[in-house]
Chains A and B, each alone.
Chain A
């Protein structure tokens, strides 16, 4: 065990002071039934650091009004801060222009926007939409709804036993009827990082636009939408140390301009008469009604916080956590990791022989360890691995090696109860 610990503490992360970072997250001080909280459910939602909490308080305390409307001081301030947050997000994912960054309520909302705005306008009966086995329900159900409505057909790219997409099979799905591709960047269940850049290039060679569900990628790595060359990229704020109720849809400007609005209402129009409405320019065309202004500004503060630490440092520390936890779990009899892709983010789904995931979840909670149990909104992945559910530990950059040890000790105590 000592050898393992030595091996997983490379000097690369020596400058990464996890204890200093943990001090920024007040919730990590909580005790659960007298035990320190070990929060390993970051793939479901991450925690919020004090600078983001403070930013929300400052906004509500000194800057709040509705945006894009009045000429008074507060409205102008709120509008500036909201648009400034958009620019922060633009730089965070390296979009060409700020108008390519649309505030949505989250990843699900962003994908639904593309389904309604692009899909319903351009995808017809007999057209084919390619998805993958790894998709979260949020990148399956909207396309099924579209297929039902239009008569389009969904094709699914399979995975191997490690949880890696079979790229040959993906490529074979393309034909003259292929009109759209939806890809998950990082699997929320297995952690598999998909080779989306290659997959996007292949789709583009066939003239097919690609939407990437980046909900689980953006928290773990530097994402550059220009480098990926994706047409759409969707992600959520609350998995990124930001508030709930806010997310991003990046879209290529030329595509966004061709699309129809998703929701109608205020702020998304230039002029309205009962005869005709002229829609606003992008991104406002897709932001009907009063948006979650505070949440958007909070998300702006969150990406500032992450950028100050550095996404490369975050990725390196999380890889250490993943390697250490994987190594430990591989040596535990009766414990099986589900999802062993070569390229993985810090997400571990696992099964314990003879113990149902729900029992694991309840008993780990007794030790203060928070993991997710269930089908993770990805039932096709469960079906592929022939399990009804899994337990999932997902690590963030503020998790420590000691917390991995707490997880391992917790799993051992679960095994003892069921021995």
Chain B
């Protein structure tokens, strides 16, 4: 049985209460909106690339605590990173959320490991990964994405776009 309590850890609850980088960046170089039609949640991700480096990144939207905390911690994690490093982290996060990442081997997950438990809750995996989908879509100039869409970047190999 999954340890559900592990998912609602203080760090997640804190990011839900006080989301970091919450809002939108005006004149962003990249943006995308992600939808989860199963629950109506949506996340708007805006970012500015300075060269290959993420100068600033923000998110806004209406979602559950898991999704909001995931988005908040994502912005903290990728700010200042290069696009390539951010794409690597997206890959690792998606792998972790779907139970395919060996947390014992070298990775860049760090504090994001608090979301590892979501892989035991199949109905909640999409909540955790929606912001990461959306960030990936923003990098690739896909204006809108969905956890259910045919053109969902999840259906394409992430990082190879």
Contact = CB atoms under 8 A, between A and B. Distances in A.
Contacts of A358: 39, 64, 66, 123-124, 127
A382 interface: yes
Interface of B: 1, 4-5, 7-8, 13, 16, 38-41, 62-66, 121, 123-124, 127
Contact of B40 (A355, A366, A382): A382
A365 B5 CA distance: 11
A363 B16 CA distance: 15
A362 B121 contact: yes
B146 to A, nearest CB: 14
B124 A365 contact: no
Given A355-B65, A356-B64, A417 B39 contact: no
A361 to B, nearest CB: 8
A374 B38 contact: yes
Contact of B7 (A355, A357, A362): A362
Contacts of A356: 41, 63-65
Given A355-B65, A356-B63, A362-B4, A375 B40 contact: yes
A405 interface: no
B65 A388 contact: no
Given A358-B124, A366-B4, A388 B13 contact: no
Interface in A285-330: none
Given A33-B1, A389-B40, 4 more contacts: A374-B39, A389-B39, A417-B8, A418-B13
A17 interface: no
Given A382-B40, A388-B40, A417-B13, A359 B64 contact: yes
A368 to B, nearest CB: 11
B128 to A, nearest CB: 11
Nearest to A34: B1
Nearest to A358: B64
Contacts of B63: 356
Contacts of A382: 40
Contacts of B7: 362
10 contacts: A33-B4, A357-B64, A358-B64, A358-B123, A359-B8, A362-B7, A366-B5, A375-B39, A388-B40, A418-B16
B4 A365 contact: yes
A357 B123 CA distance: 13
A357 B65 contact: no
A86 to B, nearest CB: 37
Q: Which of A357, A362, A388, A417 neighbours the largest number of chain B CB atoms within 10 Å of its CB?
A: A362
Contacts of A389: 39-40
Contacts of B40: 375, 379, 382, 388-389
A373 to B, nearest CB: 8
Interface string A342-375: 0000000000000111110011011000000111
Contacts of A379: 40
A91 B124 CA distance: 44
Contact of A359 (B5, B38, B65): B65
B41 A388 contact: yes
Contacts of B16: 418
B65 to A, nearest CB: 5
A375 B66 CA distance: 18
A245 B41 CA distance: 31
Contacts of A373: 39
Contacts of B1: 33
Nearest to B68: A356
Nearest to A379: B40
A33 B124 CA distance: 18
